[in-house]
A and B are shown apart, each in its own frame.
Chain A
Amino acid sequence: MTTEAPAALEVRGLYKHFGGVRAVENCSFTAPEGKVTGLIGPNGAGKSTAIDLISGFKLPDAGTVIFGGKALEGLPPHRISRLGLIRTFQTPREWPRLTVLENVVLARWDQARETFWRGVLGLRQGQREATIGELAEAREILEQFGLMALRNERAGNLSGGQKRLVEFARIRMAQPQLVILDEPMGGVNPVLGERMALAIEGFIAIGTTVIVVEHNLPFIERVTDNVVVMSQGSVIASGPFASLRSNQAVIDAYLGEMPTYEQPSA
């Protein structure tokens, strides 16, 4: 695997065991900056656990994660997020009783504006202007995602696909260095796939590196520059999607047959 770009994320030798189950074993890969890296593998390969380990939601038994040049030594998830690494989850995790607009506005963390005392005393002049500007940005982003009409709806009332779009809008708003998308197509109408692909291109355009975990292989083929394949806790192959089709290790992992790519009937 050639990496022209420097690595935005480097995973080295991650281990995680649960009781007797070896969820992640000596998992290592890199995600080059400014590119879309896919993470695929059969069920139980350890992809989600690896994501949890990288984003701080679980603590590794061994191994390191290097992000932005720094080793993330057992940092809690909110710290990692503040460093610029944001992840989504397998099910859409919107904030249901908050509105769509509130969901998006809240995507940006700003300690100075979020303190309790600011809440009591009110924002300073500069902060108020920042808030107004932020609202405008949020509206624009919602516009891009076609959610403007829903902005005052409580996010919990939306359909599954719409919730995913809200999640994407949140990420777009947060402008992280790296975003990890955990099965974004899960439970979503395939029609939205193209929209999501465009959203991912939008992330790249603003300088965000993307990692996508997916089972939907046509989608992976569509959006990724490079793919990492996991099986039974470790990385068994990596390279551009096309090259993996003939990779014996990958075929074995998928029990003989990688799901064939079919042109979506337009």
Chain B
Amino acid sequence: MTQYLVSVLTEGAIFGVMALGLNVIWGWSGDFDLAYYGYVALGAYMTLVLTIGRQPPPTQYILGLTLPYPVAVVGAVASAMFLALVIGLIALRHLRGIYFSIVTLGAVYVLYTMASQFVPLFNGYQGLSGLVNPMADVLGIDFNSYQYFLLGLAIAVFLLVYLFLSRVSSSRFGLALRSLREDERAAAAFGRDIYRLKLKAYVLGAAIGGLGGALFATYVTAFNTSAWAPLETIVLYAAVLVGGRGNIRGVVLGVFIVIVLIEESTRFLPEIPGHPNIVLALRPIVIGLALILFLRFRPQGLLPERRYMDPIQEKAKQELAT
């Protein structure tokens, strides 16, 4: 039982990191980016190719180094940021709304196709594996306790990202970014460089996504294209939307509801003979329905975005008293 709990919490923390990154791009900057999971995937792949060294053919992939784990993670995040910079430079210059979304959808499909078809890149459909218990020997963790270490690591990373974003959110940068989402023209009329701000947010979000991907690869010890249906992004979007778009506490709540509750609850449903697919297919159906229903009835999510509440001062108190 504890093992189950440990894995659920670890997954929750990892997806929480991913969702927080998405919140920067969609919740704060207002861009419906369908390429997001591509950054997660790239983070996962890069973490693997930077740590698993060279495996014998027919497995093919680029690099194949055995860097220390933290260095590999930094490399993974950096590559996600670079990719986001390239895509963002093109897509954010002139495109908004559905045109932006469609181009990002296109970009992620191109990436997906390259990853699955171009074998020398990341070993095609087979993907990569072999990242077993990084840092175990360095820190002296035995095989059985490793899951606890991973849980601790995931939660630590999650908390760091959360606190980091909390600061950013309440800063003037965060406020300016959200004004872009609210009304671009007005933001430009008041001196904000829309392109630059959005690009920064985009790369930041992608960096966090890449970090989530790195953690994911560590947790699963492997990664391939079946873990990466481009529509995985939808699950993250559902989490951000349901919980509260723009509100990082809401995002945490959303991750809990969508990913932990829904994914895990369907795991306990009984198998119906003759229809082996029901349980597997039920999760995306519930998520898709949740997405539609929330968009219709509660688009701000369960926890609406926080605002600065100016405290009542003496003068104002007097005013209200008279």
Q: Using CB atoms and an 8 Å cutoff, list the residues of chain A in contact with chain B.
A: 55, 57, 76-78, 81-82, 86-89, 93-99, 101-102, 105-107, 109-110, 113-116, 118-120, 122, 131, 135, 139, 148-149, 151-152, 154, 170, 174
Q: Considering the complex, give the chain B residue whose CB is closest to the CB of A77.
A: B188
Q: Is the CB of A102 within 8 A of B175?
A: yes
Q: Which of B173-228 contact A (CB under 8 A)?
A: 173-176, 178-179, 182-183, 185-194, 200, 204
Minimum Cβ distance to chain B for residue A244 (Å): 29
Q: How far is the CB of B58 from chain A (nearest CB, A)?
A: 45
Q: How far is the CA of A106 from the CA of B192 in the complex (A)?
A: 10
The residues of B that contact A148 with a CB separation of less than 8 Å are: 316, 319
Given contacts A76-B193, A97-B305, could you give 16 more A-B pairs where the C-beta distance is less than 8 Å? Answer: A57-B188, A77-B185, A78-B193, A78-B194, A86-B190, A95-B183, A98-B182, A109-B191, A114-B173, A119-B172, A119-B173, A120-B167, A120-B168, A120-B171, A152-B307, A152-B310
* Chain B 300-315 per-residue mask, 1 if CB under 8 angstroms from chain A, else 0: 0000010111100100
In the docked arrangement, what's the CA distance between A96 and B309, Å?
A: 15
Classify the secondary structure of B's interface with A.
helix
Give B contacts to A, CB under 8 Å. 164, 167-168, 171-176, 178-179, 182-183, 185-194, 200, 204, 246, 305, 307-310, 313, 316, 319-320
Contact of A99 among B168, B172, B308, B319 (CB under 8 A): B308
Residues of A within 8 A of B194 (CB): 78
Indicate if the CB atoms of B190 and A98 lie closer than 8 Å.
no
Please tell me if the beta carbons of B308 and A93 are within 8 angstroms of each other in the complex. Answer: no
Q: Which residue of A lies closest to B201 (CB)?
A: A116
- A residues in contact with B200, CB < 8 Å: 116
Find the B residue at minimum CB distance from A99: B307
B contact residues around A109 at 8 Å (CB):
190-192
Report the separation of the CA atoms of residues A116 and B173 in the bound assembly, to the nearest whole angstrom: 6
Is B308 within 8 A of A101, CB to CB? yes
* Complex CA distance for A95 and B307, rounded to whole angstroms: 12
Q: Which residues of A contact B176 (CB under 8 A)?
A: 106, 114
Which residues of B are found within 8 Å of A118, using beta-carbon distances? Answer: 171-173
Chain B residues, Cβ within 8 Å of A107 = 190
Given contacts A101-B310, A109-B192, A152-B310, contact A93 B171 (CB under 8 A): no
User: How far is the CB of A4 from the nearest CB of chain B, in Å?
Assistant: 30
A78 & B172 in contact (Cβ 8 Å cutoff) = no
Instruction: Considering the complex, give the chain B residue whose CB is closest to the CB of A113.
Output: B172
Residues of A within 8 A of B307 (CB): 97-99, 102, 152, 154
Q: Roughly how many angstroms separate A101 CA and B307 CA in the complex, as a whole number?
A: 10
CA distance A78 to B305 in the complex (A): 27
What CA separation (Å) do A113 and B174 show in the bound complex?
11
- Report whether A120 and B164 are in contact in the complex, using a CB–CB cutoff of 8 Å: yes
Least CB distance, B125 to chain A, in whole angstroms = 39
Residues of A within 8 A of B167 (CB): 119-120, 122
- Do residues B173 and A55 form an inter-chain contact, with CB atoms below 8 A? no
A233–B258 alpha-carbon span in the complex (Å): 56
Which chain B residues border A99 with CB–CB below 8 Å? 307-310
Docked complex Cα distance between A135 and B309 (Å): 12
**B190: contacting residue among A101, A106, A139, CB under 8 A:** A106
